[in-house]
Chains A and B, each alone.
Chain A
């Protein structure tokens, strides 16, 4: 490429191993999934004639519709809960913790590094019929019969995912809050703005990029979560990833699985773009 400067060429050469890896291991496989989703499979034979049949099935069959809606609903609730719970803690860290911020951040990430499988499993132990929560509540005399609405349903999935993704929500918000120029808040106070006004007109809009980043970082992966629905979701908490796995595994229908994967990716991508632009519109500048 003669038009590129020497610097550009050097940068691209240095980047090329990583870029080639990503192209071979990410772009190529993703393209193949898309191709696969237009094919059909009869047990082990693959029919490569182009067809929309998989998408028709994925979008019209009630079971897939139910799973897709449930996945989206659960993910949106998880994201909202996680981000709303994360904001005050990030705010506390940024505005109230003077020293040892790094220690706090470290402590927040420690639970995240325990085996994800075991964390989800332990939530099952906590929430179960004879679980930690029920037995302690009964011991304290707060309830007489064990609560049953907390395990093997969507609530359990929401709680467990909100726990699993907490650090991912806290860190971007914390970074955005740290960047806020404190003199802006002092200026607003000098000009007579009360604490609420200062929060909603300065802190929150300026923290918006962090909030949007948190939202997307939690939302996108949770739609495709497999372990949590499988372990604590029961039959009412299963999500689209579980169905994708079934299609690739037991059902031996990889093309339908691929169509489900592509469909959920497209839907999530569309929602993410929406959130991104909404965040851009409502935040970022001091009004």
Chain B
């Protein structure tokens, strides 16, 4: 097998390439914690010393706390709504056939490739025309739109791998539609649902352009960070904030990944699960 497919480019060079590529991918990420703990007001090398003062500074910045609260509200609401909408669409796409399905699904998945600025501008134009004022709700509306396709992608595989006979058995045993959903379907797709909630939460937490266009007076975290980037003296604490955000995102992602793999395993698709993280 190795010989038959492997020797086009010798395996050794591919390993070197892969390591170099990972260095490129991680270059900015490694710098983030370095500068967060660096005892200097300029974000540049050489590093001057270790400090945690930038982190403690975050505790006393009131504007930041408002932004964190706003982002938490937006991200949680977005995660719930887009997972709900994603579940409806994913179930429909996985288990039913109807005319025009491909086109309709393509349209719903469109925000995945549409430039975010187009989505932002379009929503702004509509809100202007309707005379609505900008608020956290308008940000949520935009975030739900771009998060739903991700939720559909995650939940589609959860539904596709589900054994339909289990639901049929439940009907045969006299359970109602709702009862079957609650007691059979939902537990089966639960890992996918959790994974979708975490991923959409993370996307919303980091989304900038739509929030930038649609936010009113209550800014979200990325919009707050954007406003801080203009002031060189604020940069070290922005690095500290970024480090915290990185840790939060990675923790959420690991949990999402664990649930996704549990979903795969539950459906007997062991191939994917065996090569798991741990």
The interface of chain A, by Cβ under 8 A from chain B, is 4, 7-12, 14-19, 21-22, 25-30, 32-33, 36, 85, 88-89, 91-92, 95-96, 99-103, 106-111, 113-119, 121-123, 125-126, 128, 130-132, 135-136, 163, 166, 182, 185-186, 189, 195-196, 198-199, 203, 216-217, 220-227, 231, 241, 244-245, 248, 254, 257-258, 261, 264-265, 268
Contacts and interface: CB of A to CB of B under 8 A. Distances in A.
B226 interface: yes
Given A33-B121, A88-B14, A102 B277 contact: yes
B250 A29 contact: no
A107 B152 CA distance: 23
Contacts of B6: 95-96
A220 B21 contact: no
B243 to A, nearest CB: 9
B114 A221 contact: yes
A111 B128 contact: no
Contacts of B84: 17
Interface of B: 1, 4-9, 11, 14-15, 17-18, 21-22, 24-29, 31-32, 35, 43-46, 84-86, 88-89, 91-93, 95-99, 101, 104, 107-108, 110-119, 121-126, 128-129, 141-142, 144-145, 148, 152, 202, 206, 208-209, 213, 222, 225-226, 229, 238-239, 242, 245-246, 249-250, 253, 257, 261, 272, 274-277
A185 B108 contact: no
B21 A85 contact: yes
Contact of A12 (B44, B92, B110, B144): B92
B205 to A, nearest CB: 9
A204 to B, nearest CB: 10
Give the dominant DSSP class at A's interface.
helix
| Residue among B28, B119, B249, B272 with most chain A CB within 10 A | B28
B121 to A, nearest CB: 5
Given A15-B92, A132-B45, A225-B115, A114 B29 contact: yes
A15 B28 contact: no
5 cross-chain pairs, A with B, having the tightest CB-CB distances, nearest first:
A224-B115, A11-B96, A29-B122, A122-B28, A8-B98
A135 B29 contact: no
A244 B121 CA distance: 8
B25 to A, nearest CB: 5
Given A11-B92, A15-B88, A135-B45, A114 B242 contact: yes
Contacts of A114: 28-29, 32, 242, 245-246, 249
Contacts of A224: 115-118
Contacts of B89: 14-15, 18-19
A77 B26 CA distance: 22
Given A14-B88, A33-B122, A244-B117, A111 B4 contact: no
Contacts of B118: 30, 33, 224, 261, 265
Given A29-B123, A261-B118, 4 more contacts: A11-B96, A117-B208, A118-B238, A265-B118
Given A22-B145, A114-B249, A126 B27 contact: yes
B5 A18 contact: no
B275 A18 contact: no
| Residue among B104, B122, B229 with most chain A CB within 10 A | B122
B245 A115 contact: yes
A14 B238 contact: no
B250 A121 contact: no
Contact of A115 (B115, B124, B222): B222
Given A115-B225, A227-B209, A248-B124, A196 B88 contact: no
B21 A89 contact: yes
Contacts of B95: 11
Nearest to B278: A103
A92 to B, nearest CB: 4
Nearest to A26: B145
B123 to A, nearest CB: 5
B44 A125 contact: yes
A18 B150 CA distance: 13
Contacts of B91: 14
Nearest to A9: B98
Contacts of A223: 115
